[in-house]
Amino acid sequence: MGILRLLARIMGRISTFRSYQCVLLLAAALAVVAFYYFGSERQNFSSTTKRIKQSQASHNANRNDADLTVDTSLIHTDGSEEQGGEEQDVGEESERFNSRKRDRDAGDQHFHALMMFTKVDKSRSLQDKFRVAMLSMVEHGDFLEGELLVLHFVSDQPSKELGDKMLQELLLDATFKYEVLFHDVDALTHKLFPIVEAMQKYFSAGSGAYYSDAIFFLSVAMHHIMPESLTHIVQLDLDLKYRTNIRDLFQEFDQFPPGAVIGITREMQPVYRHTFWQYRKENPQTRVGEPPPDGLPGFNSGVMLLDLGAMRASALYNKLLEPSNVAKLADQYRFRGHLGDQDFFTMIGMEHPELFYSLACVWNRQLCTWWRDHGYGDVFQLYYHCGGPVNIYHGNCNSPIPND
């Protein structure tokens, strides 16, 4: 209204001014109008832009702060959920992202897989291996409706924070429903140590029982650590590359013979030919440490199927965990190792093979060739051979994994 009154006063004086003065006054009036009109428009535009930028910043923050702790799990229900082509309201997308934690379907069939995820924040090599593992798992993963893949990570806090960020990227294209849980490594170590302390001096790299080494025996006593409602779990190394649907690995539980508690592949190098050298010298006719198919080459723990229910129910297996029996077997086989759970399973497997289901080597195609060049080149291929299409590559001892 102020602008209109100004124009009226100007127009009222036009008759008293010469023509050039009228032109000047009219130009001035138009300049005032332009200042108020366009100046106000610029202010509104700037305010709107600022609000959009603030909204986008809030949106980006929400995309990067998913809480993936053991207490609040991330649920992914639809692989296309984060791929929508239509522009979404920022608040709506953030709410949908967080709602996956709340919308857990109690009727889902769960497939549990566990990986050690400690000190990953300090190792670029481990980060690269983890990226290969998860991207290949997602690429080939295919689960049925009503099925849920539960990914457990045993981690320290810095590695968990990194894992939070990496998993949002690495699981982005998953077409299956998943849940992510992080378990505190210190809390698990505290529970494990009393159970596995006695065996550490036989199967740890250092001399004596080190508290921090207990976590490398998690699979040995997981049936005591995890809740009884959890009956089956697959434990996986980080340096794997999947070439088939991981769901198929879980179907191997159905092949366990009566009495078997763990599914595991044979060791594909003459590691235990070397480790059992003294026992082999004293028992020249033994099958211990000999190559397949007739020998007992030992196990590799890169891929393991743990029937936790069967482990809890097996009187034999639990008796073998007792310190006196660990010591007895270690002395009997003159055994001293450094590979944690793998050594323990190998040793008891020499005495009680019925506790183990022999998982085909294609499920853990180990690529390390270290022992070929360290004294065992003449027999190496007898251990290393693995026929059939590979389902999972294992890049142990930092071996490169084929790109096929």
Using alpha carbons, list the distances in angstroms from residue 96 to 57, 90, 131: 17, 10, 26
- Residue 320: predicted pLDDT: 98
- For 283-286, the CB contacts below 8 A with 24+ separation are none
Q: What is the mean pLDDT of residues 187-192?
A: 95
- Residue 52: predicted pLDDT: 32
Judged by average pLDDT, the poorest of 120-124, 183-187, 202-206, 398-402 is 202-206
Which of the four pLDDT bands, split at 50, 70 and 90, describes residue 331?
very high
* The CA-based dihedral angle spanning residues 163, 73, 212, 117, taken in that order and rounded to the nearest 10 degrees: -30
Look at residue 23 and tell me whether its pLDDT is greater than 70: no
CA 218 to chain centre: 16
* Residues 6+ away with beta carbon under 8 Å from 404: 243
What HEC string does the chain produce? CHHHHHHHHHHHCHHHCCHHHHHHHHHHHHHHHHHHHHHHHHHHHHHHHHHHHHHHHHHHHHHCCCCCCCCCCEEECCCCCCCCCCCCCHHHHHHHHHHCCCCCCCCCEEEEEEEEECCHHHCHHHHHHHHHHHHHHHHHCCCCCCEEEEEEEEECHHHHHHHHHHHHHHCCCCCCCEEEEEEEHHHHHHHHHHHHHHHHHHHCCCCCCCHHHHHHHHHHHHHHHCCCCCCEEEEECCCEEECCCHHHHHHHHHHCCCCCCEEEEECCCCHHHHHCHHHHHHCCCCCECCCCCCCECCEEEEEEEEEHHHHHHCHHHHHHCCHHHHHHHHHHCCCCCCCCHHHHHHHHHHHCHHHEEECCHHHCEECCCHHHHCCCCCCHHHHHCCCCCCCEEECHHHCCCCCC
Q: What is the mean pLDDT of residues 229-258?
A: 98
Tokens of 5: 């009154």
- Residue 205: predicted pLDDT: 76
User: Who wins on pLDDT, 143 or 55?
Assistant: 143
Query: Taking the CB of residue 195, how many other CB atoms lie within 10 A of it?
Result: 16
* Tens digit of each residue's pLDDT (9 = 90 or more) over 151-184: 999 999 999 999 999 999 999 999 999 999 999 9
Q: What is the mean pLDDT of residues 90-104?
A: 38
- Residue 212: predicted pLDDT: 75
Look at residue 87 and tell me whether its pLDDT is greater than 80: no
Strand pairing category for 240-242 and 147-155 = unpaired
Q: What is the mean pLDDT of residues 116-133?
A: 97
Residue 154 amino acid letter: V
Look at residue 206 and tell me whether its pLDDT is greater than 80: no
Burial tier of 206 (Cβ tally within 10 Å: 0-12, 13-18, 19+): exposed
* Tens digit of each residue's pLDDT (9 = 90 or more) over 208-239: 557 778 999 999 999 999 999 999 999 999 99
User: Who wins on pLDDT, 59 or 21?
Assistant: 21
Q: What is the mean pLDDT of the chain?
A: 82
Which of the four pLDDT bands, split at 50, 70 and 90, describes residue 43?
very low
* Tens digit of each residue's pLDDT (9 = 90 or more) over 276-291: 999 999 999 999 999 9
- Residue 9: predicted pLDDT: 53
- Residue 28: predicted pLDDT: 46
Look at residue 102 and tell me whether its pLDDT is greater than 90: no
Cβ burial 333-344 (10 Å sphere, 16+ → b, else e): bebebebbbbbb
What residues does 300 pair with on adjacent strands?
265
User: Who wins on pLDDT, 206 or 265?
Assistant: 265
Look at residue 58 and tell me whether its pLDDT is greater than 50: no
Which of the four pLDDT bands, split at 50, 70 and 90, describes residue 116?
very high
Q: What is the mean pLDDT of residues 348-373?
A: 98
